[in-house]
Amino acid sequence: MDKGYEKERFDSLSIKTSVAKKFNGFCRKMSLSKSMTLLVMIAFFEEKWNFTTRIHRSKNADARGFN
């Protein structure tokens, strides 16, 4: 059971069988549950998106002479 999520209910997602097989293998390699693996992936992409967005905004500000 995932620490901090013991009392939460389960829900389901519909994905293609081939993608599910790859994801299950990835979860095993990570030694995490499917829920925790998804949370790690989401955190990674949110951080990456925020970093990219900040750089993009900074470059636009530089181009307009705001920095």
The whole-angstrom separation of Cα 56 and Cα 62 is: 10
Tens digit of each residue's pLDDT (9 = 90 or more) over 1-11 = 688 888 888 99
33-53 pLDDT, tens per residue? Answer: 999 999 999 999 888 887 667
b (16+ CB within 10 A) / e for 27-51: beeeeeeeeebeeeeeeeeeeeeee
In a domain, 19, yes or no: no
- Overall number of domains in the chain: 1
Which domain does 42 fall in, by range? Answer: 33-67
Identify whether 57 is part of a domain: yes
In a domain? residue 2:
no
Whether residue 40 lies inside any domain: the answer is yes
Q: For residue 53, tell me if it sits in a domain.
A: yes
